[in-house]
Amino acid sequence: MTDDVPAAAHDAVERHGAFETEGDGYRCTTTPLSATVTLSAAPGDRDATFEVEVGMPSLDAVVEGERVADVVEDGWFDTLERRLDDAYDAVKSSDRLDPEIERSDEEVVARFGVQAWTARQGVDDAKAIVDYVEGTYVQGVIPGYEYGEPVAGLLNRAQQNADSDETNRGGTPL
């Protein structure tokens, strides 16, 4: 852990409930994607900079039984990249680092950062970014393919949540 980051920032992440300590940072436990938060010093009176990194499999890496055509994979990534540029719409902190989104054959890695006035707001914003990335990733899944994990589990969880919402409103599950 970084010594120049106030203890309040580390305490806020540890108390949040969605993160657990892992190495020099914190792993988000509420998503099957590889999501971590690290803390660093922030300028001025800010409590800390909350740096969020989310790794997710490329489309071809999670499709089972066939290879995704390059043009489909490229289009999928371009759309994902454009949608992830809006991730900061989900946060309250106004000081943000430029997002970085990179792709390799098997993985897409998205990096974001917020400089929060308070540690509590910083960790809430970090979690909001993780949730935004996960939701955006799931929305970008292309129908017609058979998916392995983590996509199959994410789609199943989304369907269960939709069924539960429908039942709670007095309707018939889909």
Q: Is the pLDDT of residue 173 over 70?
A: no
Question: Residue range 92-111: average pLDDT?
Answer: 91
Distance (Å, rounded) from C-alpha 86 to C-alpha 84? 5
Q: Is the pLDDT of residue 94 over 80?
A: no
Q: Is the pLDDT of residue 147 over 80?
A: yes
Which residue is associated with the tokens 């789609």? 155
Q: Is the pLDDT of residue 166 over 50?
A: yes
Q: What are the Cα distances from residue 119, in Å, to 3, 42, 114, 144?
A: 15, 11, 11, 43
Distance (Å, rounded) from C-alpha 126 to C-alpha 30? 12
Of the listed ranges 5-9, 35-39, 148-152, the least confidently predicted one is: 5-9
Q: How far is CA 62 from the centre of its chain?
A: 17
**What is the set of domains in the chain, with CATH numbers?**
7-167 (3.30.1460)
| Model confidence, pTM | 0.89
Question: Residue range 50-72: average pLDDT?
Answer: 96
DSSP SS3 for 148: coil
Residue partners of 115: CB distance under 8 A and separation at least 6: 42, 43, 46, 48, 49, 50, 93, 95, 96, 97, 122
